[in-house]
Structure 1
Amino acid sequence: MSEQGAGGRGYWDESNEALVAIIRDRIADEGRITFAAFMELALYHPQYGYYRTDAVRAGRAGDFITAPEAHAIFGHAIARRLAAMWRQLDRPEPFTLREYGAGAGTLALAILDGLRTDGDDLLTALRYEPVEINPVREAELAERLDAAGFADVLHQPVPGEQITGCVLANEFVDAFPVHRVEMHGGELREIYVVWRDGWFADEPGPLSTPEISDRLAREGITLAEGQRAEIALGPTGWIAEVAAALERGYVLVIDYGYPAAELYGPERRDGTLKAYTRHTVHDDPYRAVGEQDLTAHVDFTALMDAARDHGLTVLDLTTQADFLADAGIGEILVAMQRRPGITAEDYLAARAAVMHLIDPGGMGRFRVLTLGREE
């Protein structure tokens, strides 16, 4: 906690004051709360949470840029992979694409336009189902798909209905609330959130649930003395939900993260929790409460373990760079030069985006997990 936050108006002025008061009052009632509870409120409070308001979050006008905002060629490459999946399943109709964290439809539009550009038959069989908690973003998505001529593809997910197709989650899992832990004196301790000296602060205590230590034990992870880490328990339940809904097909999870042995390695002694606001990144989760994104790297070992537990097959875990190369992003870029109406400026922008998306020091090192149930 900074001195500005404790002693002045700085952190109040950056934050959503109504949300701060709600979290403060909950701490007053309970004495302290887990960081996962704090993050849940900061990001997903129904009225004031970061992802629930009508403010623009993703894109150049927001706080961060994801791959779909970088360029539509990312979605075009995913469209090619989806078409291959459809053929692998023997061209089912409908083939449902269920996207978690769909936002305003930037990725969906790029996928659909990519299929249209390729003249792929999948477009006639496709049923697109967005899963989006923000009604403002969901309305924008519907308007954009309608304007682009894809209104007939859009459907709402039916609770309890199984699908044949693909579940897609691009930079979705990293925003699940996390428990923060630290190894101290040979004991795994949890970092709670308290209200102290006029602002939020850390306070160590015993683990709030044995699920935390059970997760690390299953993965064979022992933190070093003084090492901090984040444990997201929510993705396990999400995988269960996805598996229950998938009769046949695939799951694509694209995100920043590592298998557990790398994620909790000694080079990440301070954990991976980061905050994003106005295209800057920092490590103070108590600034700009409700007005900044909070994320932590994904534990892909936990996702794969959960997938196997719920009857899914782990088909591949690779980097985004290799995934996009295998999906044909290079061929898409070459073909773009021959498309009518494409200017040199258009092509150069696409080429620059591809270099950014496959950069091994940046987005190229994101992981892509493919899960499946083919029979």
Structure 2
Amino acid sequence: MSTLPSPSADALAASQALSRHIADQIAAHDGWLPFSRYMELALYTPGLGYYAGGSRKFGAAGDFVTAPELTPLFARTVARQLAELLPHTAGIVYEFGAGTGMLAADLLAALDALGVPPARYCIVDLSPELIERQRQTLAERVPHWLDRVEWLVELPTELDGVVIGNEVLDAMPCELLRWDGAPLQRGVTVRDGAFAWEDRPIVDAALQRLADTVFPPLSGYTSEISLANRGFITLLAERLVRGAILLIDYGFPRAEYYHPQRHMGTLIGHYRHHTVDDPFYLPGLMDLTCHVDFTLIAEAGLDAGLDLIGYTTQAQFLINAGLTAELAALDIDDHATYLPMANAVQKLTNPAEMGELFKVIGFGRNVPIDWIGFTQGDRCHTL
């Protein structure tokens, strides 16, 4: 880890405080926590966790760059899909994990330009620091729409509108399992003053059933199962009376996710634009993420009675929804604007970058099932 950027003294002190808090939690629970609980504490402990502390997460100075920050064309294209759906609902957009607020600001501007401004734009986010940044972004970019934006501390009992989440599922705590004659649940203990792995038998019946279904019987095979992802989709389905759910994230269908060659799983850390294999490195200063099993997402939605509308790559979805038309509408002679936009479009759609790894999945209830984003290249048959 010597090649990684050193944290400031204040950041290091915050990480050490979080480490002590996690160690106390481990001690209070028989010396062991499932990895999902460790991940939850590392990311969401109030004031100290990665998403609940004050560290800068997005952009060149942070740990990663998301699609909405690359170019406003991303939001303008997604807005074309939302504009098709919102009139069939109460006209409310619900965004989960809104990051810097860039997607919200650009969606509001784009939907206004399309003549379909939302009745309300509701943001559900767990990070006080990010909520403040979202307020600032919206106040700077779309101040005239700020009165339609509200921040929710809990999910409404009924949803009537369009739910959107960009890179939300990957940030939810995942269970980590390892095969040793049978699937065992990986957990975290403290050994010689440092966090260490300890595997125990699975006690959760639902986790055991999934593990028995998806895990290759290969010695040492390690991967993730996200009960949190499944629970999230189930909860949305329970609350959605009318509308759509549109989720964009990186991941695979199950056959690819649990391929025997992917024997170390997908769990990874992101620290200041570096990838880190050790999930115990600088808790609170490093993002932890795992890829999405989109078969699990599809099953959860179907089991909860939603219509599975489509599943495809980000590149195909954006092209279907009109990304190239948005790019073509720009002034090609304005090199200062056009060239960065064209480069961003390349990154969004190139199979070697975000185009193939990122997927889009859509669910509906009591709305039309023909969505422009899935008109070509649907991959539901791979789930």
TM-score (norm 1): 0.89
User: 1:275 pairs with 264, 269, 272, which one?
Assistant: 269
What is the alpha-carbon distance in structure 1 between the residues aligned to residue 46 and residue 290 of structure 2? Answer: 22
Q: What is aligned with 1:80? A: 80
Aligned to 2:59: 59
Structure 1 residue 92 displacement after superposition = 4.4
Write out aligned runs for 1:103-252 (5 A).
Answer: 103-116=99-112, 119-123=113-117, 125-147=118-140, 148-157=143-152, 159-184=155-180, 186-217=181-212, 219-252=213-246
Say whether 1:45 aligns with 2:36. Answer: no
The whole-number CA distance in structure 2 between the counterparts of 1:94 and 1:155 is 16
Q: CA deviation at 1:232?
A: 1.2
Corresponding residue SS for 2:92: strand
Residue 102 of structure 1, aligned match among 95, 98, 102: 98
2:42 and 2:214 map into 1 onto residues whose CA distance is 31
In the TM superposition, residue 194 of structure 1 has moved relative to its aligned partner by 1.1
Secondary structure in 1 matching 2:312: strand
Could you tell me which of 340, 348, 362 is aligned with 2:353? 362
Aligned length: 355
Is the 1:14–1:289 contact (alpha carbons within 8 Å) kept by the matching residues of 2? no
AA at the equivalent of 2:126: I
For 1:246-278, what per-residue CA distance to the aligned partner results, in whole angstroms no more than 9, with x for missing partners?
211110111111111110101210000000011
The verdict on how the C-alpha distance between 1:150 and 1:202 changes in structure 2, with shifts beyond 3 A counting, is: same
Cα 1:362–1:15 change in 2 (3 A) is farther
What is the aligned counterpart of 2:281 among 268, 284, 287?
A: 287
SS of alignment partner, residue 222 of structure 1: coil
Distance 2:20 2:115 in 1: 53
Distance 1:303 1:195 in 2: 33
Answer with 142-151 or 194-203: which moved more.
Answer: 142-151
> Partner amino acid for 2:104?
A
Partner Cα separation in structure 2 for residue 286 and residue 66 of structure 1: 24
Q: CA deviation at 1:63?
A: 0.7
- Counterpart residue identity of residue 47, structure 2: Q
The offset of 1:159, in angstroms, is 4.8
Instruction: Work out the percentage of aligned pairs sharing the same amino acid.
Output: 36
Which moves more between the two structures, 243-252 or 315-324? 243-252
Which runs of 5 or more residues in structure 2 are unaligned?
A: 3-10, 368-383
Per-residue deviation, residues 7-51 of structure 1 (Å, max 9, x unmatched): xxxxx9587111100111122222111111110100011121110
> 1:79, CA displacement in angstroms?
0.7
User: Which residue identity does 2:341 align to in structure 1?
Assistant: A
Q: Which residue of 2 aligns with 1:9?
A: none
Please list every run of 5 or more consecutive structure 1 residues that lacks an aligned counterpart in the other structure: 4-11
Describe the SS at the equivalent of 2:355: helix
For 1:40 and 1:371, locate their aligned partners in 2 and report how far apart those are by CA, in whole Å: 27
Distance 2:214 2:267 in 1: 22
Computed over aligned residues only, the root mean square deviation of the Cα atoms, in angstroms, reads: 2.2
Contact 1:15 1:288 in 2 (8 A): no
TM-score w.r.t. length of structure 2: 0.87
Matched, 1:334 2:328: yes
Indicate conservation of the 8 Å contact 2:89/2:242, yes or no.
Answer: no
**Which residue is equivalent to 1:346?**
337
Counterpart in the other structure of 2:296: 302
Contact 1:180–1:228 under 8 Å retained in 2: yes
Q: Tell me, in whole angstroms, the C-alpha distance in 2 between the residues paired with 1:223 and 1:179.
A: 18
1-side partners of 2:311 and 2:294: how far apart? Answer: 9
The alpha carbon displacement at 1:85 in A equals 1.9
Deviations 1:112-170 (A, max 9, x none): 22234xx31211x4421000112232233233323342113213447544232210111
The letter of the residue matching 2:19 is V
Residue type of the alignment partner of 2:108: L
Q: Which residue is 1:33 aligned to?
A: 33
Shift, 1:225, TM fit:
2.4
C-alpha contact 1:68 1:74 (8 A) present in aligned 2: yes
Q: In 1, Cα distance between the equivalents of 2:45 and 2:120?
A: 30
The aligned amino acid for 2:27 is: A
SS at match of 2:64: coil
The 1:236/1:351 distance shift into structure 2, 3 A limit, reads same
Q: Distance in 2 between matches of 1:257 and 1:112?
A: 28
SS in 2 for 1:99: strand
Alpha-carbon distance between aligned partners in 2 of 1:346 and 1:224, rounded to the nearest angstrom: 51
